[in-house]
Each structure stands twice: as C-alpha cells, then as structure tokens.
Structure 1
Amino acid sequence: MTQKEAYQCEKYMKRNRESIVRVGDFLIDVPALLSPFHLDCWNCRAVHGATCCEDGQPYAVDHWQIPVIEEELSAISARLEDPRERDNWSDRGIWEPGQPPGTIRTRHGDCLFFQEIGGRYGCAIHAYAEAEGSDLFRLKPISCQLYPIDLIDTGSGILFTAVTPETSSFSRWGTDYLEHFYCASLERRKLARHLDDTAFAVDGYRPAYEWNLPLLRYLLKEQANPVESMLAEQSRARTLRDGIGTTVAL
C-alpha cells in the first residue's frame, strides 16, 4: 500500500475495531465480508460490454500451481470451441516467454484462458472446473479468485476484507467496481429497470465471503469452519434486522 492507503486502512480499522475478529494471523472484517455481491460473470459482458478478464492477464500463478494447470491443460483445451485456439495453445504453449515463470500468455490482448464458451465469454479454466467437478481453487489463478475479497498486510495481521465504499480508499479494487459494475452494487442494480430480471438478478446477491469460500478455507485451514459459522450467523442476523427493522450488533 501507499502511505496514504496505509493511513486510510489504519483509520478504518480503528473505526471498526469491535467488528473485526482476530483468527490467528488474520483479521476477519465481518461487516465487509457480509456486503452483498453478485458475481454473475456470464452476463457481465452482455450488460457492461466488457469483463474484468479482458485487456491483459492475471498476476503470474504461484509456482505450485504451474504443474497443476499443465496437468489439466489438454482436457481444458479439448473443450475449446475454436480449433484455431486449440492449435495455438498446442503450438505456442500457455506461458509468456521471457516473463516470470507462471505468466499466462495473452492472445488478441486478453488472457489466453478468456474464451467464447457456449456463445458467451468467460474463463476456460473456470468453465472446465465447473463442468468436470474439479477443484477450482487449485486450477484457477489466485489473483482471478480474489475479487471481491482483499487481503491486506496491516503489520499486525492480514486484514481479510472485501471492497466496499468504506474500504475502497485502500483496497486493490478501488472504486471502479462500486461505481460502474452491478456485481458490487445491489442498490444500483435495483434501479436498473432496463435490465432483464435474469441478469444480475436481485435475489442472486450473497455475502462477499460466500463467493470466495475455497480461498477462505485454504487460508484459515482448521479455523475455517468456526469463521464460516460466525459469518453465516451474522448474515442471518443482518437479514432479520433488515427485515423487521431491529438492530443486531456485530
């Protein structure tokens, strides 16, 4: 973080100290992790004209993930609809020459795995994992799995949070998603009368942490179950509070 971002993060944590729970090395930001999101990625391009997977590639994958992706590569490429893409993968490989190990190559300016799938565009790794029931966490680049979660080293622990209007001043995601994309703004989606009800459906919004459960479980290990239970309980309490107008303290 920049010095300014670190200052904003420190102020945020002081304001919310009573609702941030320490679990080992992690600081669980309960209110942010309960913020509603709808990662309706299949409809993103149709609604917004572009997705966050376009115009570049993710951060280089971790070293342990390189052989995992390579092992599944032939099965992933076999599902590609365009034979020219399969040939390109086979001829040139998937890694960018001259870049750090694990840097995924781009094609037409996009991540190599950003492909047309069933008439829509999305991640070929994600589509393969869902279709085959494979472990998405092991296969998909970690940087592509983070949103809307943010992991911030505060010096006193890793803040496990999500991008919200309150965290955007120091979040890696900034304000762009909040201001321009329906996935991050339930209130903005409710006002979008021009959208089909099935695109970013209002009843599809769920707490931020639910979209990243594999990551939460991997990072928190044996502490994951009690943290999930706590967040689920707080989520139910928030729903009850909003529904009947009472206040439940976090």
Structure 2
Amino acid sequence: MRRQQRYRYVGTPDPMTQKEAYQCEKYVKKNRDSLVRAGEYLVDVPALLSLFHLDCWNCRSVHGETCCEGGQPYAVQKQQMSILEEELALVAAQLGEEKERTHWMEYGIWDIAQPPGTIRMRHGNCLFYQELDGRRGCAIHAYAERTGKELFPLKPFSCQLYPLDLIDTGDAILLTAVTPDTSSFSRWGTDYLEHFYCASKERRQQADHVNAELFSLDGYRPAYEWNMPLLRYLLKEHAEQIEALLAERSVNVPC
C-alpha cells in the first residue's frame, strides 16, 4: 500500500499528498518516545500543549481576513453531507434576507464542479459565512447555538478542529496540533503560524500596535483546551484518560 493511501486526514475524503504523508511518517518515527498511546490514538503531548489564543470574534479587527473567509478548508465526508442537506432549510430560515434564503434552497449546498463534499462559494466566501445579528460568522454554528442542536455532527469537521489535527496513520490516529514541527504535514500548513496571532504568542508579543485587549497575552492556553468538548465527543471512552494526561503535563508549560 502506498504511503499516501495509508496516511489520511480524519473527517474528510480529501487525501494527504505524498509529501505530507512522508513528513508525517518521519515525524512519528522521530518523536515516538513523546507520543503516548491511548487505545487507537497516539497523543502528541508537546504539540497539544503549544499555546494558542482563539480570540475569534476579534480576528477581523487585527487581520485582513479571518479563517472563515474564502472557502471551507476540506470537503466533508458522505455521512455529514446527508446531515447538512437535512438541516439546510432550517439553517437558511435564520437568514435575514429572503433573497439569500431562496438562493440557498434553489442552488443547494454543494459545488458540483469540485470533489463531493465541497461547499459552494457565495460572494467569494463559504456559503455558510454570513452576517447574523450584526456579526459575521458560521451560520451552521449560530443555528446549533440557537436551537440546541448538537454542533459536532453538523458543522464541517475541519472547520471545528483548528488548531488540532487528527491523522490516521494506518496503525493509529495521531492526535496533534499545528506547530513549526508539524506544519509540514498538518492540514493547517504554515499560514496560521506565519500570519495569525492566534497561533503565535511570540508574534503577538511583538505587535505593539495592537490593543492589549485583543489576543491578550494572558489569554494563551494549551491547544487542546480550546477543543475539549469536541475531543470528548470524538475520543469517547479514551477522552477522560487523554484529558487527565494533558492536564497533568500542562502544569509545567510556561505561560
């Protein structure tokens, strides 16, 4: 079996490239002593303790665009396509403009010119990136919050995962986060590390022109803490063990 077929990003049908798969394989071999096995998972403790500050509502005020602008990061899997199609009318109903609601229902969700599971672009952005109550964000996320619907099976998986990553190596599922050491094979690449304050406390410390309340330096926390609800949903019976492990190790992480 080719390396590229064996290594894949969890939660999307989009394949890793041969180069990404090679870099991931090399990383796992090099860091095997620091990876903790928990059931089918390889827990990348150092990466998961890397500091982030997901001050998402203030992103647009300090950056030219947010991570939600443009298109979705990765296509969704077939089972999630069905869930989104079933909920489309209800998600669309919360939109303020009737013209926009009609457009959604007439043209649907998917970009048929792209691989299955690719959400259509609308005005240069993901279809679901909308203005609601005077703020722009994900219409799916807003719908889940308003209705009490469970978010995790509904919102595109890769849109929920940042800054974490889940990679099926064929032998185990690597649970990691985007760092300078993992960016060569992470689905997030180097862009966040190089351009966004959420992924670099060092870069934020140098940004003297930014209001201290935006991406505040005391708001940086280990990567895994930002996504614990999602991890509990995904990891199931292994969640408590992994969370306890990371919490114990995070005590020694410098702020």
TM-score norm. by structure 2 comes to 0.82
Summarize deviations over 1:116-170 as a string: whole Å, max 9, x none. Answer: 2333322111122233333211110012122211223334322111111121222
Secondary structure in 2 aligned to 1:52?
coil
TM-score by length of 1: 0.84
- Between 154-163 and 4-13, the greater mean CA deviation after superposition: 4-13
Q: Identity over aligned residues, as a percent?
A: 68
2:214 aligned residue: 199
Q: Distance in 2 between matches of 1:75 and 1:2?
A: 36
Aligned residues: 240
Q: 1:3 to 1:216 in 2, by over 3 A?
A: same
Q: Which residue of 1 aligns with 2:145?
A: 130
Matched, 1:22 2:37: yes
Structure 2 unpaired stretches of 5+: 1-15
Q: Is the 8 A contact 2:167 2:173 kept in 1?
A: yes
Query: What secondary structure does 1:137 align onto?
Result: coil
Inter-CA distance 10–104: structure 2 relative to 1 (3 Å threshold): closer
1:37 matched to 2:52? The reply is yes
Distance 1:90 1:170 in 2: 37
Measure, in 1, the Cα distance between the counterparts of 2:185 and 2:81.
30
Distance in 1, matches of 2:19 and 2:114, equals 31
| Corresponding position: 1:66 with 2:81 | yes
Alignment-mate amino acid for residue 106 of structure 1: M
RMSD of aligned alpha carbons: 2.4
Is the alpha carbon distance of 1:197 and 1:78 closer, same or farther for their aligned partners in structure 2, counting shifts above 3 Å? farther
1:235 aligns with 2:250: yes
Q: Runs of 5+ in structure 1 lacking a partner?
A: 244-250
Q: What does residue 248 of structure 1 align with?
A: none
Q: How has the CA–CA distance of structure 1 residues 46 and 84 changed in structure 2, closer, same or farther, with 3 Å as cutoff? A: farther
Aligned match for 1:91, one of 106, 120, 129: 106
Cα distance in structure 1, aligned partners of 2:171 and 2:113: 37
Alpha-carbon spacing, 1:232–1:2, altered in 2? closer, same or farther (3 Å):
same
- Residue pair 2:164, 2:177 contacting (<8 A) in 1 also: yes
The aligned residue for residue 146 of structure 1 is: 161
Q: Hey, what does 1:246 align to over in structure 2?
A: none
